[in-house]
Structure 1
Amino acid sequence: MEFTVDKYENYSMAKINQEKVDSTVAPELKSEFMNLAQDGVKSLIVDMGAVKYVDSSGLSALLVGNRSFSEQGAFVLYNVTDHVMKLVSISQLDKVMTIVAGQEEAADVVLMTEIQKGQGAAE
């Protein structure tokens, strides 16, 4: 599976460079997400622009990512293609995961999440 990660101060950015996220690559994607979380990454922004197709195992991998980062920080998908978005909507995962249009908006979501979680810890 082709997957790149760039680390920044407040979050990491991942890019899935794969047209299909299906049962052949989903286990590796899940383990990438879990490894990043174990390495101390609190928030992950995922560029889905290259992904043209996702099956149920691919959606499951995205849910693992969501679960791995949402408690500590944020898990944000952006640049989701229309076809993939349709599958995400049909499965109602758009109600569970944070999906935005662009990278800047994704970074804003991470910042807002940090502020909200910081305030929650102080109360």
Structure 2
Amino acid sequence: MNIAIDVKQMGHQDHVLVGGEIDAYTAPKLREILFPLSEKKGVHIVVDLGNVSYMDSTGLGVFVGVYKNVRSNDGTLLLVGLSDRLKRLFTITGLADIMNIESRAEGGTL
């Protein structure tokens, strides 16, 4: 199981490019990178999931935690580049109704 994570500061936003699989083995690495970003006051995080081939409930848990942190710190979280499969995962769980998500067709990858 592999994951690649690249963080770039672009203006007042943190852009996080994620590739590979997000599962029980790789989610801790993603959490280790996203949680410190999400704890900054007024943070704006854009996570590009365009190169993510698979995500399980462990990955969803990471994004729920990041979303809560960002909200409590008056920030924003935007997920972009979701494949149809990932978009469906967020929709089925109801997370698409509360999180700001753009699919590939809407937002494309960064």
- Provide the aligned C-alpha RMSD in A: 2.1
Stretch deviating more after TM superposition (25-34 or 44-53): 25-34
Aligned residue number for residue 57 of structure 1: 58
3-state SS of the aligned residue for 2:50? coil
Which structure: greater helix fraction?
Answer: 1
Please, which runs of 5 or more residues in structure 2 have no aligned partner?
A: none
CA contact (8 A) 1:11 1:44 kept: yes
Please, which runs of 5 or more residues in structure 1 have no aligned partner?
A: 107-123
Matching of residues 72-111 of structure 1 within 5 Å = 72-100=74-102, 101-102=106-107
TM-score, scaled to structure 1:
0.75
Kindly state the Cα deviation for residue 62 of structure 1 after the two structures are TM-superposed: 1.1
Quick one: distance in 1 between partners of 2:42 and 2:6? 14
CA contact (8 A) 2:44 2:76 kept: yes
Which structure: greater strand fraction?
Answer: 2
1:92-116: CA deviation from partner (whole Å, max 9, x where unpaired): 1101211023269x9xxxxxxxxxx
Count of residues in Structure 1 that have an aligned counterpart in Structure 2: 104
Identity, % of aligned positions: 23
